[in-house]
Amino acid sequence: MFIMDNTIRDYAWGSTEQMAQFMGHAPTGKPQAELWIGAHDGDPSMLPDGRRLNEVISEDAADVLGNRVCDIFGERLPFLMKVLAVNEPLSLQVHPSSERARIGHTRENGEGIPLDAGHRNYKDQWHKPELIFAVTRFEGMAGFREIDKTVELLKLLNLKWADSVAEQLQSGPAFQTLRTVVTETLALEGRKLTRLLSQVGDAARHAEARARREQLRHRSHRNKSQSMVGPEAVRVFARVGDLVRRYPKDPGVLVTLLLNNVTLAPGEAMFVNAGVVHAYAEGFGVEIMASSDNVLRAGLTPKHMDVEELLSITNFTPIPPPRWDPSERTADFCYIEPPVAEFCLTVGRPPLRRVPATGPRAVLVLEGEVEVVARDERIAVRRGQSVFISHHDGPVDIVGTGRVAVGAVPA
């Protein structure tokens, strides 16, 4: 076992204070967004002796990962953990499936595109399903909303463009009409787009005010809970108004009107699978994913966008808000296992015993101080610090007064 030294990435959407407070550091003045915990080649964690975690794995993968993990995933740590400090909306993005990642990675290698090129879409050959666990209230958008609810919301804007989109969405199969609407929307540009965004921003602000009044008027009416007239409409219109101010020339803002709004209370989680359009908006949380850095973007960002490629890998079938409930939960413990082979997440307060007992594990301290106890070793860590546990270390116990998040490969 060893304490890891992890890289913090500075992105414009990050917080200038939250990450520093979590890590116990003085703020740098820059928006710190992501803490990477793992062995991804992009920013592998460092060991106390100066070696990188990916190098340690390559030297003796069977000892570090265990034969079962090596047989399934090869000689690589299959998951990557992050801490996210979201102060502004992230890009509108989609992650590829394993098949599309392999195809895209091979194609771009053949084209001679450097792995670190800004316009590179596929930096590796792996898929990137991900789960976000909310440490604070966490806001995001993920997956296309059910058509009838989107139609209801669009009509609340009282805008000719929105009425036209609503009519179009009702004209055929949902996946087909959504693909057409999104494709046409992301193709908008120039003065037509700028004028439309301004109109949508104004309409959203008026619709937000009306929705707030309607919410107050019907607060005691339980039959309003399934209507877009209420808290969700207020949040959607408030966010769209804010996004128009931030991105007055970005058609991706319009696409957010079609997405599920997802609000997570502390302790709740959301799972985003391949092909699901999403954008996180605000909050602090722990993210665990398959170890990949493949991201296709279509808006809300100054980074490279490849709309055509994104549309080719997007799942346009409407889904419910993609919350993911724990398989096990008590007052001080939850175990979350989404439908992927690469990762699971345990969050809890000590004492935690043999959670889990085998394979590679990463323990991140969320609160207080704990000790990670193995057969012949114990390591004391505090909030913001993390410990890597190899398969060779065997079962461990976690004791102390804090709270931890443990990333692992499901048994």
Record: fold of 332-408: Jelly Rolls (2.60.120)
pLDDT value, residue 217: 75
Sign of CA dihedral 211, 216, 217, 220: positive
Element (H, E) at 346: strand 344-348
Element (H, E) at 286: strand 278-290
pTM above 0.85, yes or no: yes
Same fold, 2-141+265-302 and 332-408: yes
Cα separation, 10 vs 105, in Å, equals: 26
For 275-318, write each residue's pLDDT tens digit.
Answer: 999 999 999 999 999 999 999 999 999 889 999 999 999 999 99
Active-site amino acid positions: 297
For 78-121, write each residue's pLDDT tens digit.
Answer: 999 999 999 999 999 999 999 999 999 999 999 999 998 989 99
Q: Where are the domains of the chain?
A: 2-141+265-302, 146-258, 332-408
**Is it true that domain 2-141+265-302 has CATH number 3.40.190.170?**
no
For 333-368, write each residue's pLDDT tens digit.
Answer: 999 999 999 999 999 999 998 788 899 999 999 999
In sequence order, which residues have a C-beta less than 8 Å from that of residue 181 and are 6 or more positions away? 165, 168, 169, 258
Q: Which of 358, 365, 388 has its CA nearest to residue 46?
A: 388
Structural tokens at position 113:
């595109």
Contact present, 71 and 44 (Cβ < 8 Å): no
If you average pLDDT over every residue of the chain, what do you get?
A: 94
